[in-house]
Structure 1
Amino acid sequence: MPLSTLLKKSAAFFIGIIISVFLIFFIYSQTLIVQMSNHSQRIINDLNDGANQAYSALARLNRNSFTECSTLNLLTMRKLQFEANDIKDIGFFDGNKIICTTGVGELEIPISEGQFDKKIDGHEFWFGHKLKTFDGTVEGVVIKSGRYNVVLSFNTLLVKHHEFTNYEIVALINDQPKHLYGHDDIYKNETHNNRNNVQVGLLSHKLEFCGEQRFICVAIQQDNFTEYQKVPFTLVLMFILILSGVTALHVYDYIDRYMNSDKRRIQKGLEKHKFKPFYQPIVDLKSGKAVGCEMLARFKDSKGILYPDTFIPIVSELGASWQMTELLVTQAIHDLKGLELADNPIYLSINIFPKDINNGQVLKILDLIKDTPSNIEFTFEITEDEELDFAKAQEILNKLVVAGVNISIDDFGTGYSNMSQLQSFPIHTLKIDKSFIDEVETGAIRSTLIPNIVSIANKLHAEIVAEGVENILQVEELLKMDITLAQGWHYSKALSIRKFKHYLADNSDFNLS
């Protein structure tokens, strides 16, 4: 394998792994962000539920008419606390001092409530308040309304939240965060307008989220893939990465095969005019001078040459036969414009796909050749390797003949033509296939059919051109059979226009400037 190919394949393998890493990270990141967002929303919802439960309890208590910390008052407070899931303690006030609580009972020394942090919905809130009645070790949210307050403990409210452990809950007091619960210093006050603020890093993800009234916010920070740091997951990840590299290698091979396939090259070649006309002289066997030529398609691009036996079937498969023919004829007309007038016009033979006759596309060529000089005689060669729709073809060929185009049957004797069909066509030339000419000098059985072809041509009043003439012996035998026109390597291979000009100058009565 060439080094360049090996490097490309290696690059494809590692690019596949890199793409897989990015894709896995992207999927993981999106999943983690959704989980963190849902988790923060659930925390806010639970805190709101706790606050609503506190609102309801305070409303019920204040509907009573207790004015002192009586046994009945304490019993009512304790019953309501028992019914509530999230209330840790309830206190009763005399003025601005707590005189009894459900946890302690009647206080020996009343406790001053102090300045509240924020007033929301008519309720006074203390955030992160250390409860003196619980020896200062319990923190929570204190909510007061009327003569009562309730204490909500974060440990009680958030007992079921274990999905993420590295989070912080804060209250925004005058837009300044006050730590309430969790790990301190995670929240950075980077969220606005109740939208998630997400920070994605290679090592960790962070999310900040605030409730609707933007006074309780949650920040969650999670190191990436900490939940998957186990050997089985590592093995699965390695397998996925290797599989991704192998898949990328197969994709590269597929794309490379497609980009370098003959079909792709031909498609691009048609777009970029990589098909060029070459010209093989048609020679008078008696004089040895060129009287015309057959235009043959040649293809060359940056990857090299494709030969007709390769590109002709693909052009036909692509449905681009007329596109190629039109491109070549246009170029050929341009190439032969400088031809000086001789006694007889030069014979320019052009291969036409039978399908382009069947569908009538060939008639478009009349617009291409209508303004060409009169010293060019166009002949359209119909190959016998594809069956003609004779009913349609006869009408179309007649139109071409009326316009001054000659009709030739190429590779005669090897295809679909028969005498009755040929008699209905305006045939000008029969071209004897090379397979007959190859055996003419040895007198093999196939060559004995040539006189029959000559007889058919005479009945059709058609000329004969022998294809594939390679030596003087073949020339002599053909002359004995009264065949006077030929082409083949004995005279010249197909030539570029530049070389064809020189050939005409040396071997014809034509001069192409």
Structure 2
Amino acid sequence: MKKYQQKSVIAVIAVLTGVVVFVMGSLILLYFAGHKLAATVNDDAKHIIKHIDAAVEESSRILIPLNTRIFTQCDDANLLEMRRALFDAKYVIDIGFFKNDQLVCTTGAGLLSKVIDDRKPDFIRPDSNVRIRFEPKLRLLLFNGREMPVVIVRKGSYNLIIDTTAFVNGLITAHRWEASYKAGSKLHHLAGHNGLYDEITHQHQLPFETLLKCSDRSAGYCVAVHIPWSQFFANNQLLLVISLILNCLVGVSSAFIIDFQIAARRSIKVRVSKGLKKGSFYWTYQPIICLQTGKVVGCEVLARFEDKYGVLYPGEFISQIRKHHLTWSFTEAMIAKVLEELTPLEALPQGFKVSLNIFPCDLEQGNVSLLTQIPELTHSRFIICLEITEDEYLDTSIAHAHFRTLVESGFHLSLDDFGTGYSNLRNLQNLSFHQLKIDRTFVQDIATEGLKASMIPNIMELVHKFNYTCVAEGIETNEQEAILKTAGVHFGQVWKYGRPMTVAKFKTYLT
């Protein structure tokens, strides 16, 4: 259940990481999109202002020379000059001549059969006495069936019809824009979406999507541009979809990477490897009791593991220690800590037996010979008993040689979990064992009178034959204990006599 909860926590962390990365990526994407939108708005505003400046300059270039000719009537010479001026014009589409504030001729229609009274201007530029008026639906005399949004500029005896659609020339992104002239606090509409300038000024707008910009060359002329986010996204659908897909992939990849990294950090292999260096392993002591007297005669050292990620059980970490060749590092750490903890305990009597588990592979590799070079072990006041599980390594000449060296140096040898591993009776005769341990499965089979239980007398015959001592594991009931006593088993080791405990509790237990 705890593992399931840990995996759930890892999954939640990974998902949250993926979500955070996705959100951050979306915010970054939105940030750059905002700057792209702002740049587009700014480009549109600059484009419109550039054309307004050009139209103002063109108006001056046409009106000033015409007024200096001082024509008093619309004759052929006057019309010729007007048409010459219009020929090179980019924004001006028609020129008219006034007499007594009445339009008498235009370049397009020529001399009018009926004069037209001039209308009141929207404003007069004080710097040049130019009269300006906006006409949203003007019908030119030459194209009477066509309505056009124009600006009419008059100075002296001449006026110009300026086509405002030329300001954008189809090259801007914004659908809503407005060109205006500011005279003090008053705003005069010239072209585009009427009222947009005031809307942007007085109403809340989303960031990046609006801009108010005035000309540096033509004083008073300003432009307002609005590109809503919806239009921007609509114009960049493909890019947006690709960006979101990539962002999703980054988020999912981040989740998988975090999940992998956390899982890797919390993998048993990594935890065990780091645990040897960081002291995540600790050792407990399970008492070994003389079945005849009930006295504590020794203890077995059992490894336990706990780090910030939780507890690992021996069945989990022992296999990893074997698989990744950490057996000797583990054994060295165990010996150092056990000597540090047990040596100061005065409650331990002389001849107290301390059983340490040794990996069989360290026999074949010769690591066990290093034990004879540790003075604290060879001169210990304890009897150091090395417990070795049955394994094919025990049946080699190399193992036999190391066993002899260990025995000559004063170590006792115990064959652990007898009958469950690589059983070879020759080892009992050829190797210098002092002790044999009966596996708990034999003891637990006593109550059912199973096959393994029936083998205990045979095992004890071997024990007596080779003059070994015998330890039984897994004694849980008085019945099991009585049967084992009758069979001649010397010692017992199980929770009935004491659970594996830390050195502090073991000290209390002894007293």
Q: Which residue of structure 2 lines up, in the alignment, with residue 41 of structure 1?
A: 43
Letter in 1 for 2:46: I
Instruction: Give distance in 1, aligned partners of 2:46 and 2:164.
Output: 12
Indicate yes or no: 2:295 matched with 1:295.
Answer: no
Deviations 1:64-116, CA, capped at 9 Å, x for gaps: xx9896555444444444xx5x5545799xxxxxx99856879999x9x9676
Instruction: Give distance in 2, aligned partners of 1:154 and 1:53.
Output: 9
Instruction: Give distance in 2, aligned partners of 1:494 and 1:154.
Output: 94
Indicate yes or no: 2:358 matched with 1:348.
Answer: no
**Which structure 2 residues correspond to residues 313-462 of structure 1 after superposition, within 5 A?**
329-340=335-346, 344-353=350-359, 370=376, 374-383=380-389, 405-419=411-425, 427-439=433-445, 444-450=450-456, 453=459
Q: Which residue of structure 1 lines up, in the alignment, with residue 197 of structure 2?
A: 184
Shift of the alpha carbon at 1:292?
1.1
Deviations 1:449-491, CA, capped at 9 Å, x for gaps: 4455456667887644322234555455545655433323443
Instruction: Give distance in 2, aligned partners of 1:492 and 1:39.
Output: 82
- What do you get for the CA RMSD once the two structures are aligned? 6.8
Q: Which residue of structure 2 lines up, in the alignment, with residue 157 of structure 1?
A: 167
Q: TM-score when scaled to structure 2?
A: 0.56
Residues 37 and 209 of structure 1 are in contact (CA less than 8 Å); yes or no, is this contact kept in structure 2?
no
Letter in 2 for 1:41: D
Q: 1:16 to 1:471 in 2, by over 3 A?
A: closer
Instruction: Give distance in 2, aligned partners of 1:151 and 1:262.
Output: 79
**Which structure 2 residues correspond to residues 7-406 of structure 1 after superposition, within 5 A?**
27=29, 30-31=32-33, 33-45=35-47, 48=50, 71-81=79-89, 84=90, 86-88=91-93, 130=133, 153-158=163-168, 160=170, 164-168=174-178, 182=193, 183-185=196-198, 205-208=208-211, 220-221=225-226, 267=271, 270=275, 275-298=281-304, 308-309=314-315, 329-340=335-346, 344-353=350-359, 370=376, 374-383=380-389, 405-406=411-412
2:357 is paired with a residue of what secondary structure? strand
Letter in 2 for 1:487: Q
Letter in 1 for 2:418: F
Q: Which residue of structure 1 lines up, in the alignment, with residue 6 of structure 2?
A: none
1:38 is paired with a residue of what secondary structure? helix
- The counterpart of 1:498, out of the listed 487, 497, 504, is 504
Q: Which residue of structure 2 lines up, in the alignment, with residue 123 of structure 1?
A: none
Q: 1:221 to 1:72 in 2, by over 3 A?
A: closer
1:280 is paired with a residue of what secondary structure? strand
Shift of the alpha carbon at 1:432?
1.9
Instruction: Give distance in 1, aligned partners of 2:110 and 2:365.
Output: 105
2:301 is paired with a residue of what secondary structure? strand
- Matched length: 440
Q: Structure 2 stretches of 5 or more lacking a match?
A: 1-8, 72-76, 98-103, 140-147, 235-243
Instruction: Give distance in 1, aligned partners of 2:464 and 2:180.
Output: 107
Instruction: Give distance in 1, aligned partners of 2:308 and 2:371.
Output: 30
Residues 430 and 465 of structure 1 are in contact (CA less than 8 Å); yes or no, is this contact kept in structure 2?
yes
Q: 1:140 to 1:292 in 2, by over 3 A?
A: farther
Residues 275 and 299 of structure 1 are in contact (CA less than 8 Å); yes or no, is this contact kept in structure 2?
yes
2:197 is paired with a residue of what secondary structure? coil
Shift of the alpha carbon at 1:350?
2.6
Q: 1:22 to 1:342 in 2, by over 3 A?
A: closer
Instruction: Give distance in 1, aligned partners of 2:181 and 2:209.
Output: 18
Residues 414 and 434 of structure 2 are in contact (CA less than 8 Å); yes or no, is this contact kept in structure 1?
yes
Residues 321 and 356 of structure 1 are in contact (CA less than 8 Å); yes or no, is this contact kept in structure 2?
yes
Q: 1:220 to 1:13 in 2, by over 3 A?
A: farther
Shift of the alpha carbon at 1:294?
0.6
Shift of the alpha carbon at 1:336?
1.2
Letter in 2 for 1:494: P
Residues 363 and 400 of structure 1 are in contact (CA less than 8 Å); yes or no, is this contact kept in structure 2?
yes
Q: 1:343 to 1:14 in 2, by over 3 A?
A: closer
1:277 is paired with a residue of what secondary structure? strand
Instruction: Give distance in 2, aligned partners of 1:372 and 1:212.
Output: 97
Instruction: Give distance in 2, aligned partners of 1:26 and 1:166.
Output: 27
Q: Which residue of structure 2 lines up, in the alignment, with residue 469 of structure 1?
A: 475
2:46 is paired with a residue of what secondary structure? helix
Residues 353 and 383 of structure 2 are in contact (CA less than 8 Å); yes or no, is this contact kept in structure 1?
yes
Deviations 1:164-210, CA, capped at 9 Å, x for gaps: 4454557999xxx998655224677xxxxxxxxxx995xx6544487
Residues 296 and 494 of structure 1 are in contact (CA less than 8 Å); yes or no, is this contact kept in structure 2?
yes
Residues 390 and 421 of structure 1 are in contact (CA less than 8 Å); yes or no, is this contact kept in structure 2?
no
Q: Which residue of structure 2 lines up, in the alignment, with residue 508 of structure 1?
A: none
Q: TM-score when scaled to structure 1?
A: 0.56
1:411 is paired with a residue of what secondary structure? strand
Q: 1:450 to 1:51 in 2, by over 3 A?
A: same
Q: Structure 1 stretches of 5 or more lacking a match?
A: 1-7, 93-98, 118-125, 189-198, 230-239, 506-513
Q: Larger Cα Rg: Structure 1 or Structure 2?
A: 2
Letter in 2 for 1:345: G
Deviations 1:295-341, CA, capped at 9 Å, x for gaps: 22346789997754566557777987777666655543333132339
Letter in 2 for 1:465: V
